[in-house]
Structure 1
Protein backbone atom coordinates (compact mmCIF):
# COMPACT_ATOMS: atom_id res chain seq x y z
CA UNK A 1 0.00 0.00 0.00
CA UNK A 2 1.29 3.44 -0.97
CA UNK A 3 2.13 5.87 1.79
CA UNK A 4 -0.04 9.05 1.95
CA UNK A 5 2.86 11.11 0.55
CA UNK A 6 3.40 8.76 -2.40
CA UNK A 7 -0.36 8.53 -3.05
CA UNK A 8 -0.59 12.34 -3.08
CA UNK A 9 2.34 12.59 -5.49
CA UNK A 10 0.72 9.99 -7.78
CA UNK A 11 -2.54 11.93 -7.89
CA UNK A 12 -0.69 15.12 -8.68
CA UNK A 13 1.14 13.50 -11.61
CA UNK A 14 -2.16 12.15 -12.99
CA UNK A 15 -3.97 15.48 -12.69
CA UNK A 16 -5.21 16.64 -16.06
CA UNK A 17 -4.48 20.11 -17.41
CA UNK A 18 -6.87 22.37 -19.30
CA UNK A 19 -6.10 25.52 -21.25
CA UNK A 20 -8.00 27.76 -23.63
CA UNK A 21 -6.07 29.78 -26.18
CA UNK A 22 -6.64 32.40 -28.85
CA UNK A 23 -4.98 30.81 -31.87
CA UNK A 24 -3.56 33.57 -34.06
CA UNK A 25 -4.10 33.86 -37.82
CA UNK A 26 -1.72 31.83 -40.02
CA UNK A 27 -0.70 29.42 -37.26
CA UNK A 28 -1.06 25.62 -37.46
CA UNK A 29 -3.30 23.97 -34.83
CA UNK A 30 -0.50 21.62 -33.76
CA UNK A 31 2.75 21.73 -31.83
CA UNK A 32 4.96 20.65 -34.74
CA UNK A 33 5.71 22.83 -37.73
CA UNK A 34 5.05 21.73 -41.31
CA UNK A 35 6.42 23.40 -44.40
CA UNK A 36 8.06 26.07 -42.27
CA UNK A 37 4.69 27.42 -41.07
CA UNK A 38 4.34 28.77 -37.51
CA UNK A 39 2.70 26.35 -35.06
CA UNK A 40 1.32 26.44 -31.50
CA UNK A 41 4.77 25.76 -30.05
CA UNK A 42 5.88 29.21 -31.26
CA UNK A 43 3.26 30.90 -29.07
CA UNK A 44 2.30 28.61 -26.18
CA UNK A 45 4.46 26.84 -23.61
CA UNK A 46 2.64 23.83 -22.11
CA UNK A 47 3.43 20.35 -20.78
CA UNK A 48 4.68 17.83 -23.37
CA UNK A 49 1.54 15.67 -23.28
CA UNK A 50 -0.84 18.57 -23.99
CA UNK A 51 -2.55 18.65 -27.38
CA UNK A 52 -5.34 20.65 -29.03
CA UNK A 53 -8.86 19.25 -29.01
CA UNK A 54 -9.90 19.46 -32.64
CA UNK A 55 -8.44 22.17 -34.81
CA UNK A 56 -8.85 25.54 -36.44
CA UNK A 57 -7.73 26.04 -40.00
CA UNK A 58 -4.35 27.69 -40.58
CA UNK A 59 -6.11 30.81 -41.89
CA UNK A 60 -8.73 30.92 -39.10
CA UNK A 61 -8.41 32.41 -35.62
CA UNK A 62 -9.86 32.09 -32.18
CA UNK A 63 -10.80 29.69 -29.43
CA UNK A 64 -9.01 26.37 -29.10
CA UNK A 65 -8.92 23.99 -26.12
CA UNK A 66 -5.67 22.28 -25.08
CA UNK A 67 -5.62 19.31 -22.70
CA UNK A 68 -4.19 15.90 -21.86
CA UNK A 69 -7.62 14.59 -20.75
CA UNK A 70 -8.64 11.75 -23.14
CA UNK A 71 -12.23 11.77 -21.86
CA UNK A 72 -12.69 15.44 -22.73
CA UNK A 73 -11.11 14.88 -26.12
CA UNK A 74 -13.58 12.04 -26.82
CA UNK A 75 -16.61 14.03 -25.66
CA UNK A 76 -15.77 16.96 -27.91
CA UNK A 77 -14.70 15.09 -31.04
CA UNK A 78 -16.97 12.04 -31.27
CA UNK A 79 -19.98 12.72 -33.55
CA UNK A 80 -22.44 11.21 -31.04
CA UNK A 81 -21.85 14.16 -28.68
CA UNK A 82 -23.33 17.38 -30.03
CA UNK A 83 -22.05 20.76 -28.85
CA UNK A 84 -22.29 24.30 -30.17
CA UNK A 85 -19.44 26.13 -31.85
CA UNK A 86 -19.93 29.82 -32.62
CA UNK A 87 -18.08 31.75 -35.32
CA UNK A 88 -17.82 35.34 -36.47
CA UNK A 89 -17.22 35.65 -40.19
CA UNK A 90 -16.33 38.75 -42.16
CA UNK A 91 -17.46 38.22 -45.74
CA UNK A 92 -16.98 39.89 -49.08
CA UNK A 93 -20.08 41.82 -50.13
CA UNK A 94 -23.24 42.78 -48.26
CA UNK A 95 -24.81 39.55 -47.03
CA UNK A 96 -28.50 39.40 -47.90
CA UNK A 97 -31.43 38.20 -45.79
CA UNK A 98 -31.99 35.54 -48.44
CA UNK A 99 -28.48 34.20 -47.91
CA UNK A 100 -29.04 34.00 -44.15
CA UNK A 101 -32.29 32.09 -44.69
CA UNK A 102 -30.45 29.66 -46.97
CA UNK A 103 -27.90 28.86 -44.28
CA UNK A 104 -30.30 28.06 -41.42
CA UNK A 105 -31.76 24.73 -42.68
CA UNK A 106 -28.38 23.64 -44.11
CA UNK A 107 -26.71 23.96 -47.50
CA UNK A 108 -24.98 21.48 -49.84
CA UNK A 109 -21.17 21.45 -49.64
CA UNK A 110 -18.37 19.12 -50.67
CA UNK A 111 -16.49 17.36 -47.86
CA UNK A 112 -13.46 15.28 -48.83
CA UNK A 113 -14.78 14.79 -52.35
CA UNK A 114 -18.30 13.76 -51.29
CA UNK A 115 -21.57 15.71 -51.36
CA UNK A 116 -22.82 16.66 -47.90
CA UNK A 117 -25.67 18.77 -46.57
CA UNK A 118 -24.80 20.74 -43.45
CA UNK A 119 -26.95 20.38 -40.35
CA UNK A 120 -29.34 23.19 -39.38
CA UNK A 121 -27.56 26.12 -37.76
CA UNK A 122 -28.20 29.54 -36.28
CA UNK A 123 -27.26 32.47 -38.51
CA UNK A 124 -27.50 36.14 -37.53
CA UNK A 125 -26.48 39.04 -39.75
CA UNK A 126 -24.62 41.65 -37.69
CA UNK A 127 -25.51 45.31 -38.17
CA UNK A 128 -22.04 46.44 -37.09
CA UNK A 129 -18.57 44.93 -37.11
CA UNK A 130 -17.85 43.18 -33.77
CA UNK A 131 -15.15 44.51 -31.46
CA UNK A 132 -12.19 42.24 -32.19
CA UNK A 133 -8.40 42.45 -32.05
CA UNK A 134 -6.80 43.64 -35.28
CA UNK A 135 -5.66 40.86 -37.55
CA UNK A 136 -2.00 40.66 -38.52
CA UNK A 137 -1.75 41.04 -41.46
CA UNK A 138 -5.02 42.97 -41.82
CA UNK A 139 -7.75 42.32 -44.37
CA UNK A 140 -6.87 44.12 -47.60
CA UNK A 141 -9.16 47.15 -47.94
CA UNK A 142 -10.91 47.51 -51.28
CA UNK A 143 -12.84 50.72 -51.70
CA UNK A 144 -15.39 49.39 -54.19
CA UNK A 145 -16.09 46.07 -52.45
CA UNK A 146 -17.88 46.35 -49.09
CA UNK A 147 -17.75 43.67 -46.40
CA UNK A 148 -20.24 42.46 -43.80
CA UNK A 149 -20.30 40.23 -40.72
CA UNK A 150 -22.37 37.19 -39.79
CA UNK A 151 -22.57 35.10 -36.60
CA UNK A 152 -22.93 31.36 -37.19
CA UNK A 153 -23.60 28.73 -34.54
CA UNK A 154 -22.95 25.15 -35.68
CA UNK A 155 -23.23 21.76 -33.99
CA UNK A 156 -20.68 20.09 -36.26
CA UNK A 157 -17.18 20.86 -37.47
CA UNK A 158 -16.53 19.61 -40.98
CA UNK A 159 -13.38 20.64 -42.83
CA UNK A 160 -13.56 24.36 -43.73
CA UNK A 161 -17.31 24.18 -43.21
CA UNK A 162 -18.09 27.85 -42.56
CA UNK A 163 -16.06 28.94 -45.58
CA UNK A 164 -17.83 26.42 -47.80
CA UNK A 165 -21.26 27.42 -46.48
CA UNK A 166 -20.66 31.11 -47.11
CA UNK A 167 -19.14 30.45 -50.54
CA UNK A 168 -22.33 28.59 -51.46
CA UNK A 169 -24.41 31.70 -50.69
CA UNK A 170 -22.06 33.87 -52.79
CA UNK A 171 -20.35 35.70 -49.92
CA UNK A 172 -16.78 34.38 -49.50
CA UNK A 173 -15.19 34.55 -46.06
CA UNK A 174 -12.35 37.04 -45.58
CA UNK A 175 -11.82 36.57 -41.84
CA UNK A 176 -13.05 33.81 -39.54
CA UNK A 177 -12.91 33.70 -35.73
CA UNK A 178 -14.26 30.97 -33.45
CA UNK A 179 -15.54 32.85 -30.42
CA UNK A 180 -17.38 30.19 -28.41
CA UNK A 181 -17.49 26.47 -27.66
CA UNK A 182 -20.66 25.81 -25.61
CA UNK A 183 -20.25 28.20 -22.60
CA UNK A 184 -16.54 28.79 -23.01
CA UNK A 185 -16.08 32.23 -24.54
CA UNK A 186 -13.13 33.96 -26.15
CA UNK A 187 -14.19 37.16 -24.34
CA UNK A 188 -11.42 39.79 -24.26
CA UNK A 189 -8.54 37.45 -25.12
CA UNK A 190 -5.96 38.59 -27.66
CA UNK A 191 -4.18 36.47 -30.29
CA UNK A 192 -1.51 34.45 -28.48
CA UNK A 193 -3.27 34.60 -25.08
CA UNK A 194 -3.69 31.47 -22.96
CA UNK A 195 -5.76 30.80 -19.82
CA UNK A 196 -5.65 27.80 -17.49
CA UNK A 197 -9.00 26.38 -16.31
CA UNK A 198 -9.81 23.86 -13.61
CA UNK A 199 -11.39 20.53 -14.49
CA UNK A 200 -14.58 21.52 -12.68
CA UNK A 201 -14.84 24.80 -14.59
CA UNK A 202 -14.24 23.40 -18.05
CA UNK A 203 -16.60 20.44 -17.58
CA UNK A 204 -19.31 22.72 -16.21
CA UNK A 205 -18.96 25.19 -19.07
CA UNK A 206 -18.90 22.47 -21.71
CA UNK A 207 -21.31 19.89 -20.37
CA UNK A 208 -23.22 21.60 -17.56
CA UNK A 209 -21.74 19.41 -14.80
Structure 2
Protein backbone atom coordinates (compact mmCIF):
# COMPACT_ATOMS: atom_id res chain seq x y z
CA UNK A 1 0.00 0.00 0.00
CA UNK A 2 1.36 3.42 -0.94
CA UNK A 3 2.05 5.71 2.04
CA UNK A 4 -0.54 8.35 2.77
CA UNK A 5 0.27 11.97 2.12
CA UNK A 6 1.78 13.82 5.06
CA UNK A 7 5.09 14.72 6.75
CA UNK A 8 5.77 11.06 7.57
CA UNK A 9 5.73 10.03 3.91
CA UNK A 10 7.46 13.19 2.72
CA UNK A 11 4.61 13.87 0.28
CA UNK A 12 2.60 16.99 1.05
CA UNK A 13 0.78 19.87 -0.59
CA UNK A 14 3.34 21.89 -2.50
CA UNK A 15 2.82 25.14 -0.61
CA UNK A 16 3.39 23.29 2.68
CA UNK A 17 6.62 21.76 1.36
CA UNK A 18 7.81 25.19 0.25
CA UNK A 19 6.96 26.77 3.58
CA UNK A 20 8.74 23.96 5.44
CA UNK A 21 11.84 24.65 3.32
CA UNK A 22 11.78 28.30 4.40
CA UNK A 23 10.68 29.83 1.11
CA UNK A 24 7.94 31.95 2.69
CA UNK A 25 4.71 31.61 4.64
CA UNK A 26 2.15 29.10 3.35
CA UNK A 27 -0.03 31.92 2.03
CA UNK A 28 2.90 33.59 0.28
CA UNK A 29 3.90 30.24 -1.23
CA UNK A 30 0.37 29.81 -2.59
CA UNK A 31 0.65 33.24 -4.20
CA UNK A 32 3.96 32.25 -5.83
CA UNK A 33 2.27 29.16 -7.26
CA UNK A 34 -0.71 31.17 -8.53
CA UNK A 35 1.70 33.64 -10.19
CA UNK A 36 3.28 30.77 -12.16
CA UNK A 37 6.68 31.24 -10.55
CA UNK A 38 6.99 27.68 -9.24
CA UNK A 39 7.85 24.52 -11.19
CA UNK A 40 7.93 20.88 -10.11
CA UNK A 41 10.15 18.66 -12.23
CA UNK A 42 10.14 21.31 -14.94
CA UNK A 43 6.36 21.74 -15.15
CA UNK A 44 4.58 24.87 -13.94
CA UNK A 45 2.92 24.08 -10.63
CA UNK A 46 -0.72 24.62 -9.75
CA UNK A 47 -2.57 25.04 -6.48
CA UNK A 48 -3.27 21.61 -5.02
CA UNK A 49 -0.16 19.96 -6.44
CA UNK A 50 1.78 17.66 -4.14
CA UNK A 51 5.52 17.02 -3.93
CA UNK A 52 7.83 14.53 -2.31
CA UNK A 53 11.57 14.08 -1.68
CA UNK A 54 12.22 12.89 -5.24
CA UNK A 55 10.72 16.01 -6.82
CA UNK A 56 12.72 19.03 -8.01
CA UNK A 57 11.03 22.26 -6.94
CA UNK A 58 12.16 25.61 -8.35
CA UNK A 59 11.04 29.17 -7.62
CA UNK A 60 11.97 31.69 -10.31
CA UNK A 61 14.46 29.11 -11.60
CA UNK A 62 16.21 28.65 -8.25
CA UNK A 63 16.14 25.19 -6.69
CA UNK A 64 14.32 24.89 -3.36
CA UNK A 65 16.57 22.91 -1.01
CA UNK A 66 14.48 21.00 1.50
CA UNK A 67 16.47 17.86 2.23
CA UNK A 68 16.90 17.95 6.03
CA UNK A 69 20.25 16.17 5.71
CA UNK A 70 21.78 18.99 3.65
CA UNK A 71 23.77 21.62 5.51
CA UNK A 72 25.21 24.89 4.17
CA UNK A 73 27.69 27.01 6.11
CA UNK A 74 29.35 30.32 5.32
CA UNK A 75 32.82 30.39 6.89
CA UNK A 76 35.32 33.20 7.27
CA UNK A 77 38.55 31.27 6.73
CA UNK A 78 41.55 32.60 8.64
CA UNK A 79 45.02 32.69 7.17
CA UNK A 80 46.86 29.38 7.56
CA UNK A 81 43.73 27.20 7.48
CA UNK A 82 43.49 24.78 4.55
CA UNK A 83 40.53 24.75 2.15
CA UNK A 84 40.21 20.98 2.46
CA UNK A 85 38.09 18.36 4.18
CA UNK A 86 41.11 16.72 5.81
CA UNK A 87 44.90 16.79 5.82
CA UNK A 88 47.24 13.83 6.23
CA UNK A 89 49.75 16.09 8.01
CA UNK A 90 47.26 17.09 10.67
CA UNK A 91 46.99 20.73 9.65
CA UNK A 92 43.83 22.65 10.47
CA UNK A 93 41.17 22.55 7.73
CA UNK A 94 38.16 24.74 7.04
CA UNK A 95 35.88 21.79 7.87
CA UNK A 96 37.26 21.90 11.43
CA UNK A 97 35.51 25.26 11.84
CA UNK A 98 31.96 23.90 11.42
CA UNK A 99 29.88 21.31 13.33
CA UNK A 100 30.99 17.72 12.73
CA UNK A 101 27.51 16.15 12.66
CA UNK A 102 27.78 15.29 8.93
CA UNK A 103 30.66 15.03 6.47
CA UNK A 104 31.06 18.29 4.54
CA UNK A 105 33.40 19.73 1.93
CA UNK A 106 34.57 23.22 0.97
CA UNK A 107 33.17 24.71 -2.24
CA UNK A 108 36.18 25.72 -4.31
CA UNK A 109 39.43 26.79 -2.74
CA UNK A 110 41.21 29.63 -1.01
CA UNK A 111 44.94 29.03 -0.71
CA UNK A 112 46.32 28.65 2.79
CA UNK A 113 47.74 32.19 2.86
CA UNK A 114 44.43 33.76 1.79
CA UNK A 115 41.50 34.67 4.02
CA UNK A 116 37.80 35.29 3.76
CA UNK A 117 34.52 33.73 2.78
CA UNK A 118 34.12 30.12 1.70
CA UNK A 119 31.07 27.86 1.62
CA UNK A 120 31.20 24.47 3.34
CA UNK A 121 28.41 22.00 2.53
CA UNK A 122 27.36 18.46 1.65
CA UNK A 123 25.14 19.73 -1.18
CA UNK A 124 26.71 18.20 -4.28
CA UNK A 125 24.47 19.95 -6.80
CA UNK A 126 25.13 23.41 -5.41
CA UNK A 127 28.85 22.65 -5.21
CA UNK A 128 28.89 21.66 -8.88
CA UNK A 129 27.06 24.80 -9.93
CA UNK A 130 29.31 27.13 -7.94
CA UNK A 131 32.56 25.55 -9.14
CA UNK A 132 31.81 24.62 -12.76
CA UNK A 133 33.53 27.14 -15.09
CA UNK A 134 30.51 27.41 -17.40
CA UNK A 135 28.46 29.14 -14.70
CA UNK A 136 31.11 31.60 -13.57
CA UNK A 137 29.67 32.78 -10.24
CA UNK A 138 31.67 35.90 -9.46
CA UNK A 139 33.80 36.36 -6.36
CA UNK A 140 35.15 39.61 -4.95
CA UNK A 141 38.51 40.06 -3.25
CA UNK A 142 40.42 42.79 -1.47
CA UNK A 143 44.12 42.58 -2.25
CA UNK A 144 46.75 44.59 -0.36
CA UNK A 145 49.65 44.78 -2.80
CA UNK A 146 53.21 46.05 -2.90
CA UNK A 147 53.47 49.56 -4.30
CA UNK A 148 50.71 51.63 -5.86
CA UNK A 149 49.41 50.26 -9.19
CA UNK A 150 49.27 52.73 -12.07
CA UNK A 151 46.27 53.32 -14.30
CA UNK A 152 48.00 51.18 -16.88
CA UNK A 153 48.27 48.27 -14.45
CA UNK A 154 44.60 48.53 -13.58
CA UNK A 155 43.71 48.57 -17.27
CA UNK A 156 45.77 45.42 -17.85
CA UNK A 157 44.07 43.63 -14.96
CA UNK A 158 40.64 44.63 -16.26
CA UNK A 159 41.35 43.43 -19.79
CA UNK A 160 42.85 40.05 -18.88
CA UNK A 161 46.36 38.92 -18.04
CA UNK A 162 48.34 36.36 -20.03
CA UNK A 163 49.38 33.65 -17.55
CA UNK A 164 51.15 30.33 -18.12
CA UNK A 165 47.76 28.56 -18.25
CA UNK A 166 46.18 31.07 -20.64
CA UNK A 167 44.75 34.55 -20.59
CA UNK A 168 42.40 35.44 -17.77
CA UNK A 169 38.90 36.68 -18.45
CA UNK A 170 38.18 40.39 -18.00
CA UNK A 171 37.90 41.41 -14.34
CA UNK A 172 36.28 44.24 -12.43
CA UNK A 173 39.11 46.16 -10.76
CA UNK A 174 39.16 49.32 -8.66
CA UNK A 175 41.60 50.88 -6.19
CA UNK A 176 39.61 52.15 -3.18
CA UNK A 177 42.83 53.33 -1.56
CA UNK A 178 46.54 53.28 -2.44
CA UNK A 179 47.97 49.75 -2.54
CA UNK A 180 44.50 48.23 -2.07
CA UNK A 181 42.72 46.60 -5.00
CA UNK A 182 39.14 45.37 -5.16
CA UNK A 183 39.04 42.62 -7.79
CA UNK A 184 36.01 40.64 -8.96
CA UNK A 185 36.48 37.56 -11.14
CA UNK A 186 34.27 34.73 -12.35
CA UNK A 187 37.06 32.20 -12.82
CA UNK A 188 38.62 29.96 -10.18
CA UNK A 189 42.16 29.21 -11.28
CA UNK A 190 44.80 28.26 -8.74
CA UNK A 191 46.15 31.37 -6.98
CA UNK A 192 44.74 33.47 -9.83
CA UNK A 193 44.56 36.86 -8.11
CA UNK A 194 48.10 36.50 -6.79
CA UNK A 195 49.46 35.56 -10.21
CA UNK A 196 47.59 38.40 -11.92
CA UNK A 197 49.05 40.94 -9.51
CA UNK A 198 52.58 39.57 -9.86
CA UNK A 199 52.21 39.87 -13.64
CA UNK A 200 51.66 43.64 -13.35
CA UNK A 201 54.49 44.09 -10.85
CA UNK A 202 52.50 44.33 -7.61
CA UNK A 203 52.73 41.12 -5.55
CA UNK A 204 49.96 40.49 -3.05
CA UNK A 205 50.75 41.01 0.62
CA UNK A 206 47.31 40.05 1.92
CA UNK A 207 44.28 38.64 0.11
CA UNK A 208 40.74 38.48 1.51
CA UNK A 209 37.67 37.13 -0.28
CA UNK A 210 34.76 39.39 0.64
CA UNK A 211 31.92 38.10 -1.54
CA UNK A 212 30.73 34.88 -3.22
CA UNK A 213 28.02 35.64 -5.77
CA UNK A 214 25.28 37.40 -3.78
CA UNK A 215 26.75 36.48 -0.38
CA UNK A 216 28.74 38.81 1.84
CA UNK A 217 28.92 39.17 5.61
CA UNK A 218 31.28 41.79 7.06
CA UNK A 219 30.10 40.89 10.59
CA UNK A 220 31.45 37.32 10.32
CA UNK A 221 34.82 37.26 12.07
CA UNK A 222 37.81 35.08 11.06
CA UNK A 223 37.24 31.53 12.24
CA UNK A 224 33.48 32.00 12.63
CA UNK A 225 30.72 30.30 10.65
CA UNK A 226 26.97 30.53 10.26
CA UNK A 227 24.29 28.57 8.45
CA UNK A 228 22.96 29.92 5.17
CA UNK A 229 19.30 30.86 5.09
CA UNK A 230 16.89 29.27 2.61
CA UNK A 231 16.78 32.59 0.75
CA UNK A 232 20.58 32.74 0.49
CA UNK A 233 20.69 29.20 -0.90
CA UNK A 234 18.10 30.10 -3.53
CA UNK A 235 20.04 33.24 -4.44
CA UNK A 236 23.19 31.16 -4.94
CA UNK A 237 21.31 28.78 -7.26
CA UNK A 238 19.91 31.78 -9.13
CA UNK A 239 23.38 33.32 -9.52
CA UNK A 240 24.73 30.07 -10.90
CA UNK A 241 21.76 29.70 -13.25
CA UNK A 242 22.69 32.90 -15.13
CA UNK A 243 25.32 30.91 -16.99
CA UNK A 244 22.95 28.13 -18.12
CA deviation after TM superposition for structure 1 residue 70, in Å:
1.6
For 2:228, the equivalent position in structure 1 comes to 197
What residue in structure 1 maps to residue 9 of structure 2?
A: 7
Shift of 1:2: 3.5
Whole-Å separation in 1 of the counterparts to 2:96 and 2:159:
40
Contact 1:17 1:199 in 2 (8 A): no
Q: Is the 8 A contact 1:87 1:177 kept in 2?
A: yes
Higher relative contact order (CA 8 A, sep 6+): 1
- The TM-score, its normalising length taken from structure 1, stands at 0.80
Compute the displacement of 1:39 (Å): 1.2
Which of 166, 170, 174 matches 1:120? 170
8 Å contact 1:22–1:191 — kept in the other structure?
yes
**Structure 1 range deviating more: 198-207 or 171-180:** 198-207
Shift in CA distance, 66/41, structure 1 to aligned 2, threshold 3 Å: closer
Indicate the structure (1 or 2) with the bigger Cα radius of gyration.
Answer: 2
Match of 1:21 among 70, 75, 82: 75
Three-state SS of the structure 2 residue aligned to 1:195 is: strand
Among 77, 82, 88, which residue is 2:131 paired with? 77
Asked if 1 retains the 8 angstrom alpha-carbon contact of 2:95 and 2:120, the reply is no
Q: Once structures 1 and 2 are overlaid, which stretch shifts more, 34-43 or 72-81?
A: 34-43
C-alpha change, 1:199 and 1:5, in structure 2 (3 Å) is closer
Structure 2 CA distance for partners of 1:101 and 1:62, relative to 1, 3 Å: same
C-alpha distance in structure 2 between counterparts of 1:124 and 1:177, whole Å: 15
Do the aligned partners of residues 80 and 42 (structure 1) sit closer, same or farther apart at CA in structure 2, a change above 3 Å counting? closer
Equivalent position of 1:64 in the other structure: 118
In structure 2, C-alpha distance between the alignment counterparts of 1:186 and 1:92, rounded to whole Å: 27
Show the counterpart of 1:140: none
Aligned length: 186
Secondary structure of the structure 2 residue equivalent to 1:190: coil
- State the partner residue of 2:13: none
Change (3 A) 1:41 1:84: closer
Question: What is the rounded CA distance, in whole Å, between the counterparts of 2:149 and 2:224 in structure 1?
Answer: 31
Q: Which residue of 1 aligns with 2:206?
A: 175
Q: Identify unmatched segments of 5+ residues in structure 1.
A: 129-147
Q: Distance in 1 between matches of 2:75 and 2:8?
A: 33
**What's the CA shift for 1:171?**
0.3
Considering only aligned residues, what root-mean-square deviation do their CA atoms show, in Å? 2.3
Q: Counterpart in 2 of 1:151?
A: 182
